[in-house]
Structure 1
Amino acid sequence: MDLGRAPAGGRDGERTEGTSEGTAGTEFRLLGPVEIRDGLTGRDIVPPGSKQRALLSAFVIHAGQLLSVDRLTEELWGDRPPSNAANALQAHVARLRRLLPAPGGGHEWISTLPAGYLLTLGPATTDVQRFHRLSAKGRAALASDPGYAAELLRRALSLWRGPALQDSGKGPICTTEADRLEENRLTTLETLYEASLRCAQHGEITGELEKLTADHPLRERFYDLLMLALYRGGRQAEALGVYERARRRLMDALGIEPGPALRGRMEAILNHAPHLSAPAPHSHAPARAVALTEALALGGEIARLRRRIDELGLEQEALVRRFDAMIARLPGGT
């Protein structure tokens, strides 16, 4: 199976806190074509047009942060904004508001403020949050339980449905975030294959690593992992051939030799270093079950605290509006 961009296949196994009504269960998805999973109806909402997708993406990327009119204008139109950019942006925001799921519970998705606009997630989530959470858990488990780490990292990668922020324009917000997320995906892939090697699964991953070295010819870590997998499979000559292939590609593209890590791997293979041997398979099933239970409980507490913080923020905004309205009605008020 190609783990580089696994197909979407249901939930990642984590418990979803809250009810299924209103915004609870709603998820904004950026890891592929931009869409919204309506927590109430279960349907997927796809914004029509690249500008609507870019606008939604910018809001989700900076959820809880004020985005100025100028910054959003640049994201949608670059250096060629329309003459009535503020009105055009306002129209796009209005269309996006109508597209979003019914918030319920007094929640407002997009707030209009004097200096710009702000998206409040409330109890809604994003697939990016889930990806980062699962990736972090996988990295944390790598040393003590590589099998469990690989399971978590596969779940994280299964959230990807295509290139991040696909078809969302080329504005600076979306472009920067797409590049950052792709780097996160590749780093997670590297950790996954390291976990697989620690589980003595070298024979199962050589084909996938061969493809990754072809797709990312300047990424040395994939060559390093492939060399180790081949060596452990009794294919020393092929492992050394991978080093030479990496060296040629780096010299042709960048004019540089491989870094110290890859050179060190090559020398270790030449010398049959003992530390290159595959580890004995072992099981950490009991520890895995305890860790998963504790992680789910902690995740629930964090979700409840996040919802309460969002509720307090909304209450504060409502009180500030009431206060401003009262002041305005006083004699001499503005």
Structure 2
Amino acid sequence: MEFRILGSVQICDDQTGMRVMPSGAKQRALLGALVVCVGQEVPSGRLVEELWGDRPPLGAANALQAHVARLRRLLLSSSGRGAHHDWLVTQPTGYALRADTSATDAQRFHRLVSEGREAATVDPDRSVRLLRSALGLWRGRAFEGSERGPICATEASILEEARMVALELLYDASLRAGQHERITGELEGLTVSHPLREQFHELLMIAQYRCGRRAEALGTYERLHRRLIRDLGVEPGPSLRRCRDAILYHFDPHPGREAVVGPSHGSAAPHPPALGHRPDDEVRMRLLAHEIALLRGRVEELYQEHRALAVRLSGSRALSLPPP
């Protein structure tokens, strides 16, 4: 039997395929809290707080026992093992869900993400499949439809951040696999729903650049830049700035990921730097060369302005001035 919390709290019998969702938000919250602490005793006081917060009813202990009794019957009726396995056991000071820690969709999600992370550099196509399978386990917000007390609320926050990291790993692996055209639209949606998460914007910039949409990639950076300044009063992080600089000067934003399409004019992307040279150093050298060229151009402009002014002042001839 598998216990599911990546969405509404459910019980799924792996023998019959039957899915059962406890009736009532408190029943779902009780099961959710026990699933989070599967195999461990959860003190009755913590479960009372989980179900009623800091305003428990009179006779909260009896009310909790009644909820536990109903949940125990539901577990027994939902399991193909019948009465031969007591899923919800009474402990000296609380209750415990007696199940393997791997019998939850959350643990299955973590396992697939770990396998996808390990495969990212050696087999990005397999990494993409594993990570999409992991993210496919989500049916909505964790513990959706439950009254979430401290146990479930904390776990929901941890799981949501793990989901965000899995999405970042997925799109990084997709870029390594050359799937930039497929993921651009998905990343655009994520930057809208998570407007301050820099990694999504960086991945989108790389995908747009690989699709030949260099101007849009730079526009993505500028929108985030303005948003960060306005909402948080901070500049984009160094990784995002390096990505912007690389795109600005037609240099592949992340040579470690496969580059298929280059700048917006359609030419091939620059080759990754030779071994022994860091990509960041190559970008800095291009930036320095560009700044020197700008400086030389400005000096030349000033020299020409000075000559023109000298001609006007003399009224007849230009002063002899040494070249810059």
Does the aligned pair in 2 maintain the 1:107–1:122 contact within 8 Å? no
Corresponding position of 1:77? 52
Corresponding position of 1:50? 25
Q: CA deviation at 1:279?
A: 2.3
Corresponding position of 1:183? 161
In structure 2, the gaps of 5 or more residues are 261-324
- The two structures, once aligned, show a CA RMSD in angstroms of 1.7
Q: 1:84 to 1:257 in 2, by over 3 A?
A: same
Corresponding position of 1:326? none
Tell me the TM-score normalised to structure 2 length.
0.76
Q: Secondary structure of the residue that 1:250 maps to in structure 2?
A: helix
Which of 23, 26, 30 pairs up with 2:5?
Answer: 30
- CA distance in 2 between counterparts of 1:188 and 1:171 reads 25
Q: Secondary structure of the residue that 2:167 maps to in structure 1?
A: helix
Structure 2 residue 246 is the aligned partner of structure 1 residue 268: yes
- CA distance in 1 between counterparts of 2:84 and 2:94 reads 21
Does the aligned pair in 2 maintain the 1:232–1:276 contact within 8 Å? no
Deviation beyond 6 Å, 4+ runs, structure 1: none
Q: 1:234 to 1:255 in 2, by over 3 A?
A: same
Q: 1:122 to 1:279 in 2, by over 3 A?
A: closer
Q: CA deviation at 1:113?
A: 1.4
Q: Secondary structure of the residue that 1:118 maps to in structure 2?
A: strand
1:75-224 to 2 correspondences below 5 Å: 75-100=50-75, 101-102=78-79, 103-104=81-82, 106-122=84-100, 125-224=103-202
Corresponding position of 2:37? 62
The amino acid of 2:66's aligned partner reads: A
Structure 2 residue 258 is the aligned partner of structure 1 residue 279: yes
Q: CA deviation at 1:251?
A: 1.6
- CA distance in 1 between counterparts of 2:154 and 2:87 reads 24
Give CA deviations for 1:202-247 in whole Å, capped at 9, x if unaligned. Answer: 1111111010000001100000000001111111111110001111
Give CA deviations for 1:277-315 in whole Å, capped at 9, x if unaligned. Answer: 66278xxxxxxxxxxxxxxxxxxxxxxxxxxxxxxxxxx
Give CA deviations for 1:69-128 in whole Å, capped at 9, x if unaligned. Answer: 110000000011011011000000000001112444843211111211111114971111
More relative contact order, 1 or 2 (CA 8 Å, 6+ apart): 1
Q: How many residues are treated as equivalent by the alignment?
A: 256
- CA distance in 2 between counterparts of 1:195 and 1:50 reads 38
Q: Secondary structure of the residue that 1:125 maps to in structure 2?
A: coil
Q: CA deviation at 1:275?
A: 5.8
In structure 1, the gaps of 5 or more residues are 1-25, 282-334
